[in-house]
Amino acid sequence: MKNNFKKVLKKKIKKKNRSKKIKIGIFALLNTFFGMTSIASQNINLPKEFTQDAAASGYENETFNYDFNNDGTDEKVVVSYKDENNFLDAVVSIYTNQNGKDLLTYQITFDKAINILNLDEMSKMLDKVKEYYGEYSKNIAPNETRYIMIYDDNRNSEISFDKLKFDKHSPKDLDNFLFIKSSSNMLDAPNGNKITTLSYSEKPKLLFEMTSTANPQKLYYTEFTKKGSTNVNHIKESKSKVKPETFKGFIVDTGNNVIKRGFYWDKVLTKIENVNKFIQDAIDSGENINIITEYAPLTHDVPSKKDKFGNKNNQSIVAYTSPDKKGEIINIPDQSLFRILGEEKGMIKIQTPFYGGPYYIPKNENNYKKVENINGAVNKFIAIDPSSQAEMLFERDPQTNKFKVVSYSFVTTGKDGSGSYETPHGAFLIAFTRGYMPFTRKARPGDTPLSGRPDLTIGGVAKFAVRFSGGGYLHGIPVNTHFKGETALTETAAKIGTYKESHKCVRHFDDQVGFIVDWVNAGSKIKDGDNTIPEEPVVAIVL
């Protein structure tokens, strides 16, 4: 059957009036049902009962037989596909025989677009259609149709993961995962029996999700290894007596028990490439790269509303969409990168790599300055994703222009509240690093007040500090000044990788941010008191 299908397929492809690349890609996609991977954007409409001319509008369609469950009876398969800009969108529809009729039982899509010539990736994805068949077909009811989306990783050929420089807190093979908000049972099948129970903040790997005409609740098929911590705390795990044990099964989405999260490498890389393109365009136009300098430590907070990017006016400058200060405004935080396009009506016209533009800001040289050490593409980036409480470090190879992942981990980002702020979103130049990070609290009788702020005193300290925007720092686990012990075993450390909670900063395990400080500094000799200013530019991107 397989060899015959190859011959039939080759004849069909030869008849298609398509480019050579598309022909090769389609053949790889459909080759004996061992070579497909795809993207699937969404489900498509096909007839409930199979016919030889079953087809989805707007797609090319191929039909063939394949025995998925090795019961001696072939299932009818319709592969619908179309290409857009050399990326393939494909949907696999499987018809099973029920009482003499071939009925649509499974429709499989994919979560990402794959380059049509990336044959290895194309092969890997269809292997998953076969591999998971025994799972998504469990407890199927007569006349039921199930809709499955298979998840791949979030990587591409422009990113290298070879030889991470620091991986003690890096989750392995966890590009897409569920964050468990409340205790959830893992089942052996849809409507099946409990295998185990997942607890708050555990993070099972997401393999596929499924909906059904028989049940409106979404199910996630996942894999999870129980360990001594839920956020890759290698110190806590080394002291734990929990024996790692791996489970695979279904988790029911009840509406408030899970959140989909991930390390979205490809999405982040697009942001990074946008920054470097912005820099190169500015240099080609003879323009300087500048940063906003709007930071006054320990200033009193002034309430403000968020702009469309999620930023408040704290330690930011107001930018307008017109030089007459009418229309929409945005808040551009301290250390944000921008270029000057000109002047209009006494306002400076600017463009930014993250917020776009043009925008207009007051002509006040105290609010910005030229970046002296950006003369070409930036090589080092720190990417922070507050929605997933995740952080990724990238380093560019100037010879190939590709990026390698240096380290990655879970973090804790800022939360809006009284005296606290969400971590600002944007592209920021790292200002400096140092070996400690003091934090304040309200002064009580007998405390030593801060100079200029008699209402505040030093409340504690965290190890290491990397300033990226205003009072926003990357730092370690904050503890009070009298703390003795292992910070990785504190309650604050246990919250890393859960929810936004800090006052604006990004919290890390101490050894994780210690590595970041050394990586950012790279032996820099530029000092300003206790602060080290990196000689090579490093950009932080907060999604």
Residue 333: C-alpha distances to residues 369, 370, 469 (Å): 14, 16, 7
Q: Can you list the residues of the chain whose pLDDT is less than 50?
A: 1-29, 31-40
Assign 226 to helix, strand or coil.
Answer: strand
Instruction: For the chain, state the CA radius of gyration.
Output: 27
pLDDT of the residue at 461: 96
Assign 22 to helix, strand or coil.
Answer: helix
């105290």: which residue's tokens? Answer: 366
pLDDT of the residue at 125: 78
What contacts 489, CB < 8 A, 6 or more positions away?
235, 236, 239
> Is residue 358 reached through a cis peptide bond, with omega within 30 degrees of 0 on the bond before it?
yes
Nearest Cα neighbor of 213 from 301, 148, 132 is 148
pLDDT of the residue at 81: 84
> Measured between alpha carbons, how far apart are the two ends of the chain, in Å?
49
Assign 128 to helix, strand or coil.
Answer: helix
Burial of 124 (0-12, 13-18, 19+ CB in 10 A): middle
CA dist., res. 318 & res. 362, Å (int): 9
DSSP 344-382: ETTEEEEEETTTEEEEEEE--GGGEEE-TT-SS---EEE
pLDDT of the residue at 39: 38
pLDDT of the residue at 5: 35
Q: How do residues 248-275 score in pLDDT, each as one tens digit?
A: 999 999 999 999 999 999 999 999 999 9
- How many other C-beta atoms lie within 10 A of the C-beta of residue 314? 22
What contacts 234, CB < 8 A, 6 or more positions away?
168, 169
pLDDT of the residue at 119: 63
pLDDT of the residue at 163: 87
pLDDT of the residue at 10: 42
pLDDT of the residue at 298: 65
